[in-house]
Amino acid sequence: MLSKMSREFLIFLFFLFIATAFWLLRVLNDDYEIQIPIDVKMVDVPQNIIITQELPHTISIKIKDKGTVLIGYLIKKDFYPIVVDFRNYENEKSKNVTVNTNELEKPFISQLSPTTKILAIQPEKMVYIYSTGESRRIPIRIQGNIRPIRQYYITDTLIQPSYVTAYAPKQILNTLDKAYTNFITLTNFSSNINYEASIKHVTGVRFVPSTVKLTFKTDVFSEKNVEVPVQGINFPDNKRLLTFPSRVTVSFQVGSTLYKGIKGTDFLINVPYEELLNYKKEHYPLHLTKMPDGIRNVHITPPQVDFLIEQKVANVH
């Protein structure tokens, strides 16, 4: 530190510090604009009032002054909140209240230097909605993309609770018949899954509770085959349908819990007489006219049959 080079370096730093200080003082003596966030607080809300859409938590105030003053504001950061007195804005008719933020300047101005100018307040208006106890119990509906992995399916969905209570002014309540969850994305799962979903916001409505618990139960698909007869319907008493083959195989996928309970008698393949009267092709395509719930990927083998309408021979005594 006693070397000539070290002393010259320290002298250089000293003059650099002095020059920087003078430059900073000159710069801070200019006018600047900054945004200051101010908390918003509502007071004197009666016990029978339910705020269904609250005021914003903060507003932004744009001010202008010299840099030296603005730095003090940025360091301070302890402005008193903007206070909205519920009694001053109560609106018995619509219960939808608009507050002009420029009406709330005075308490904030008193915390500023006389040289500071307020340029703008954002938002210019604040809105809140309240209810005096009107409510309605409405069911919950799930919305989202919910898909287990391949070969699995959802067997049951539980919603707890299945209803929520909506608090809102009467004119809004009259438009509500369901409450929806926020969009849910759950994919590629194979076991039962629990999920907590929030209720989608509706302007002017407060939902209680605001979240619900969802349970999605899953099961695995298995392949199964059953034999089903091809039957003619609406045939005259003296005629009957012959098909080749007379029985076909129906293959499908079904959950393991339903596997044993599904039988061939749960399916019907009916061929109406009136369709065959003017049918010109050699082969008739088969369609299921009845099948149980809870199955998928159903196939009939063969998919079409040859057929013949046979005249019954009358019994001779």
pLDDT in tens, 15-30: 677 766 666 666 556 7
Q: What is the set of domains in the chain, with CATH numbers? A: 28-131 (2.170.120.30), 135-219 (2.170.120.40), 221-311 (2.170.120.30)
For residue 196, the model assigns a pLDDT of: 96
Structure confidence by residue, pLDDT tens digits, 246-303 = 999 999 999 888 899 999 999 999 999 999 988 888 899 999 999 999 888 999 999 9
pLDDT in tens, 92-151: 666 888 888 888 888 788 888 888 888 888 998 999 998 888 899 999 999 999 999 988
pLDDT tens figures, 176-234: 999 999 999 999 999 999 999 999 999 999 999 999 999 999 999 999 999 999 999 99
pLDDT of amino acid 3:
63
Q: Model confidence at 5, in pLDDT bands (50, 70, 90)? A: low
Residues 6 or more apart whose CB falls under 8 angstroms from that of 144 comprise 181, 183, 184, 185, 186
What pLDDT, on a 0 to 100 scale, did the predictor assign at position 228?
97
Q: What is the pLDDT of residue 26?
A: 61
Supply the pLDDT for residue 171: 87
Assessment of whether the complete model's pTM goes beyond 0.85: no
pLDDT score for 82: 86
155-164 CB burial, b ≥16 within 10 A, e <16: eeeebeeeeb
Question: 105-144: buried (b, 16+ CB within 10 Å) or exposed (e) per residue?
Answer: eeebeeebeeeeeeeebeeeebebbbbeebebebebebeb
Element (H, E) at 69: helix 67-76
CA distance 274 to 43: 78
Residue 280: what pLDDT? 86
Residue 241, pLDDT > 90, answer yes
Contact 233, 272 (CB under 8 A): yes
